[in-house]
Amino acid sequence: MTGNAPILELDRLGKVFSADGHSVAALDDVSLAFRRGECHAIVGESGSGKTTLANLVLGLIGATSGEIRFDGATLGRSRTREQKRAIQLVQQNPLSALNPRRSVGASIRLPLDVHDLGRRSERDARVASLLKEVGLEPEHARRSPRGLSGGQRQRIAIARALACEPELLVLDEPTSALDVLVQARVLQLLQRLRQERGLTYLFITHDLAVVRAIADRVSVFQKGRLVETGPVEAIFSDPKSAYTRELIGAIPVVTEAEAALRAAIRAGAPVPAGAE
Amino acid sequence: MAHNTLQKPVLTIRDLRLAFGDRRHPTPVLHGISMHIRPGEKVALVGESGSGKSVTARLAMGLLQDQKRVHVSGSIFFDGIDAARGGAEIARRRGNRVAMIFQDPTSALNPTFKIRGQFRDVLRSGDRSISNDEADRRAEAALAEVSIPDPKRALDSYAFQLSGGMNQRVMIAMALANRPQLLIADEPGTALDVTVQAQTLNLMHELTEKTGTSVLLISHNLGVVREFADRVYVIYRGRIVEHGTTAQLFNDPRHPYTRALLAAIPKISGGGLPDLPERSPEFENPLIVHEGCGEPTEAFA
């Protein structure tokens, strides 16, 4: 972790969606810093604003208020090619994220061509080395994503994101569609890549057990507002907000140790309603 | 469960085999699975995608047998019939003797009819002579029982006007409205938020206890299984690999596949991620049955 300086800062960020005279604050006055080299998890249920947050960071939508800073510079909706390259996305469902009519190799090569990275003659070799880096074989480049398993497809989506040599990866539920044994392998891959490449992760998930396994820091969102943020250990030993306790208390668990932790968190000092 | 091992099972599956495709080159999906559920028991069938757990549920409901290029052998004894043969006998029991809850409640309900009409159809499948007024009265009572705040309004709504959690409650109320002997729940609440999923499972638990309905829970989530089920079958690639009570299975998992699954799940108590293979020849090891959990030997046809 280089110096713990923030790579990404959200400063009083807000996003309001309006239609037919109704408006909803999908994100409400959120200030948050993501430190370089960390895996920072964003947790919340549907409607919490986690996807809106990702879309704002990626520049897919514009903020209503507040500011996003990346490497100290303000990020607006129109971004330089360099700014776009530095932030990449891995989505939940790799089958819909990959073009089914394009070979795996062509999908991974596309960002190299778009961003004009490396010499043209070396790009196919670059695709092969990216495939190896995510645990696949260079031969997979000729395949169609349809003929591959869910885990292999997600590895390809990760390879494509890495092709741009990003600094920040936005991972939107990257393992929720995967079986548990496959999920464990993909999470391990993500952990290794972060260490080897010094990447920063903005890791969106609804699964707090995954957060415990992979994240350094976690921010809990509810209805567009930041409810709680802190190091992962702190959230699981002494959650401050009633909502975080409710979330942890609802997780189905598989071991006695987990059940004991959950029982202790459920029994935590009651917070009066509306006191958040 | 010790208290009801003398009672005749509600559902007995014997050596069930299923294959898809043409007769000369069929693709086997189930390789001969056997399981049983006794009255009032909650039994889970847990496995990964493609393991055969959902097709087992569909066969028990008689929803697959009549399709083309589906080859079934073995038997599914339920309510005096062999459901493995499909046809009218099992079709007549759907919705009243055996009911099903699906993963995504909003898409399981018909978007073009209000809840009221769909609920009437369900009640009519149990009692053909029921009047509209009587059906509505029972539907309102059933919705109140699943804690729907304004049952009248819910009946006059379309599924897309209600939240996922509300639709799940409607589904549960409909499924249990005719007091079925058996409820098949295929990944209930998986599409919902974790707090709503927990409420759904509590509700299902409470109501089936009250009505004495047996439950077959189909799930990939071992946490959900541990919370809900009395007894568990673990299925891997079309074969049952381990069978035991929930306590036996979670405290003393013996099959390499079950052990791998339990180790691979991230824990809220910490411990990081183990280095496990996605596949191993060991996962194909023979079935392990825990003490006191054998299949019944009597005939139930």
pLDDT at residue number B23 = 86
Q: Do A212 and B195 touch (CB under 8 A)?
A: no
B85, with CB counted inside 10 A (0-12, 13-18, 19+), is middle
Answer yes or no: are the C-beta atoms of B197 and B217 closer than 8 Å: no
Find the residue in A nearest to B268 (Cα): A209
Neighbours of A73 (CB within 10 A): 10
Among candidates A45, A184, A251 on the partner chain, residue whose Cβ is nearest the Cβ of B276: A184
**Closest chain A C-alpha to B162 CA, distance in angstroms:** 15
Best residue in B187, B258, B269 to probe A by mutation, most A CBs within 10 Å? Answer: B269
Residue A43 DSSP one-character state:
E
Give tens-digit pLDDT for A90-145: 999 888 899 999 999 999 999 999 999 999 999 999 999 999 999 999 999 999 99
- Contact residues, chain A, for B266 at CB < 8 Å: 184, 187, 207, 209-210, 212-214
User: Among partner residues B223, B251, B279, which is closest to A251 by beta-carbon distance?
Assistant: B223
Q: Give A137-196 pLDDT, tens digit per residue.
A: 999 999 999 989 999 999 999 999 999 999 999 999 999 889 999 999 999 999 999 999
Query: What pTM did the predictor assign?
Result: 0.91
**CB neighbours (10 Å) of residue B131?**
10
Closest approach of chain B CAs to the CA of A236, in angstroms?
8
Q: Nearest Cα to B193, choosing from A228, A253, A252?
A: A252
Q: Closest Cα to residue B60, out of B245, B220, B186, B212? A: B186
% chain B with pLDDT above 70:
97
- What is the per-residue pLDDT for B104? 83
Cα separation of B159 and B174, whole Å? 13
Q: A35-44, B28-37, B196-205, B235-244: which range is least confident on average?
A: B196-205
pLDDT tens for residues B96-151?
Answer: 999 999 888 888 899 999 999 999 999 999 999 999 999 999 999 999 999 899 99
Judging contacts by C-beta atoms under 8 Å, the chain B residues touching residue A184 are 264, 266, 273-274, 276
Answer whether B266 sits within 8 Å of A236, measured CB to CB. Answer: no
CA distance B53 to B76: 15
Collect all residues of chain B within an 8 Å Cβ-Cβ radius of residue A213.
266-267, 270-273
Q: Write out chain A residues lying below 8 Å of B196, CB-based.
A: 45
Sort out which chain B residues have CB atoms less than 8 A from A181's CB and list them: 48, 260-261, 264, 276-279
- d(CA A173, CA B222) in angstroms, rounded, equals 19
Q: Which pLDDT band, with edges at 50, 70 and 90, does A3 fall under?
A: low
Instruction: Please tell me whether residue B46 adopts helix, strand or coil conformation.
Output: strand
Q: CA of A45: which chain B residue's CA is closest?
A: B193
The residue type found at A156 is I
Chain A contact set for B48 (CB, 8 A) = 179-181
| Interface probe with B: pick from A181, A245, A261, most Cβ of B within 10 Å | A181
Q: Which residues contact B240 (CB under 8 A, 6 or more apart)?
A: B33, B34, B35, B233, B234, B287
What does the mean pLDDT of chain B come to? Answer: 92
pLDDT of residue B4: 52
pLDDT score of A276 more than 50: no
Interface contact flag, B268 A185, Cβ < 8 Å: no
Under an 8 A CB cutoff, do B267 and A212 touch?
yes
Phi/psi of residue B144, nearest 5 degrees: -65, -35
Angle between helix axes B115-126 and B132-145 (nearest 10 degrees) is 100
What pLDDT, on the 0 to 100 scale, is given for residue A159?
97
The pLDDT tens digits of the residues spanning A216-253 come to 999 999 999 999 999 999 999 989 999 999 999 999 99
